[in-house]
Amino acid sequence: MIPVLYVSGKNISEVWERSLELLWEKGVKIRTEYDKPNDPPSVDATMIMVVSEPLSEPRIHLSIPSTFKDLEKYKREVVDGVHDHWIDPKSGKWTYTYHQRLFKYPASAGAIDQIKYVVEKLSKVPYSRRAQAITWDPELDPLTNDPPCLQRIWFRCTEENGVLKLNMNTHWRSRDAYKAAFMNMFALTELQKKVAELLEKRRGEKVEVGQYVDISDSYHIYGSYIQDFENRFLKALREREFYSENIRRSRTINSRHPIVLKEVEEAILELEKEAQTSR
């Protein structure tokens, strides 16, 4: 049977790390349709992750197999749509971005801004259970080689000491736990922050970011890079502290650290040049 696993914690670095530990310990070995003939099976499970303070520090885990620059670009791709112009399936390019599906969902009557609907709905009824946005397009996605992993986002507000809290659940059909999940969580919680800000402006009262819940039907480590996972993630788990001011001894880093901010600036400049070229 595919195990159903649950982890919780304060921030996304802590919860992502715990999810990989638990997946490695309890996950089932199973093949995927992307395996090469000699690849070992993946380690897989259904995973539920609960983050109580999604924006709290240390916000970035140092075991992610990507740069801070990559992380910033991906965040802006999801939240701001900086790569929506890459969508051109007829030319063999991208078939979608999450931003496009959330803010400009393709429909026969025209593009639908689902996030606008979410904000309008919650501005009138903060506790509504209908504030959701989907990504799956049944006409397009079953035919592509890379259909959306993210399927649905659900929002609902609660009240704490007279202040509204915007809670968000994300639902994923499939998830590369090691190479993609952290970047997903980082970007989606930034989207949660953006929706809270839009809702705050619409209602004219304080709206804070609340709980983030992340649910994956298939949360997996591909067999083809299990060795990399062991040498990078598991080694850091054994040899480093969860957080230290000395980066060489730390598994995490503050998102406002000068090293991170330098790469963020570089990413912004590269995206600006890219935007000018595409015009």
Q: What percentage of the chain has pLDDT greater than the value 70?
A: 100
Domain ranges of the chain: 4-278
User: Each residue of 228-265: pLDDT tens digit?
Assistant: 999 999 999 999 999 999 999 999 999 999 999 999 99
> Using CA atoms, how far apart are residues 184 and 89, in angstroms rounded to an integer?
23
CATH topology of domain 4-278: Thymidylate Synthase; Chain A (3.30.572)
Mean pLDDT throughout 178-197? 98
The reported pLDDT for the residue numbered 167 is: 98
How sure is the predictor about 221, in pLDDT bands with cuts at 50, 70 and 90?
very high
Is the per-residue pLDDT at 43 higher than 90?
Answer: yes
pLDDT (average), residues 102-112: 94
> Residue 89 above 90 pLDDT?
no
Rounded Cα distance, 134 and 187, in Å: 16
More confident position, 79 or 275: 79
